[in-house]
Amino acid sequence: QSALTQPASVSGSPGQSITISCTGTSSDVGGYNYVSWYQQHPGKAPKLMIFDVSNRPSGVSNRFSGSKSGNTASLTISGLLAEDEADYYCSSYRNSSTFYVFGTGTKVTVL
């Protein structure tokens, strides 16, 4: 079962905006609005940042936003802060025996 495709790394300076892409197929990202994004700091459990493409859970900063176009979903972090430096994973429901799939992960570096 193939993972969703993310860039290995993205970097930006404090205060800038960055965007992480997540590319799948019409069987997952493109076919359903069940894309989520997770943030993971080293040695910690993942944290839900975005669900259902563009919804933020309570307590998540509005600097984080999600969107989708075709088979590609995106996570944008605006006003980049040092604390945003972490690994980010997208995920999606997949219409197959796989059922659910994560992205390959993106390391965000704040310069």
Partner 1 sequence: EVQLLESGGGWVQPGGSLRLSCAASGFTFSNYAMSWVRQAPGKGLEWVSGISGSGGGTYYADSVKGRFTISRDNSKNTLYLQMNSPRAEDTAFYYCAKGQVVVVNWGQGALVTVSS
- Number of DSSP helices (H) and strands (E) in the chain, helices first: 0, 9
Question: How far is residue 54's CA from residue 66's CA, in Å, rounded to a whole number?
Answer: 4
- What does the per-residue mask of binding to partner 1 show for 79-98, with x meaning CB under 8 A? ----------x-x-x---xx
Pick one of 24, 28, 36, 66: the residue that binds partner 1 (CB under 8 A): 36
Does the protein bind partner 1 through residue 3 (CB under 8 A)? yes
Q: ∠ at Cα 110 (90, 85), nearest 5°?
A: 45
Reduced to 3 states (helix: H, G, I; strand: E, B; else coil), residue 46 is coil
Neighbouring-strand partners of residue 23: 5, 72
The reply on whether position 101 binds partner 1 by CB under 8 A is: yes
Q: Is 59 in the site for partner 1 (CB under 8 A)?
A: no
Contact set with partner 1 (CB under 8 A): 1, 3, 34, 36, 38, 40, 45-48, 51-52, 57, 89, 91, 93, 97-105
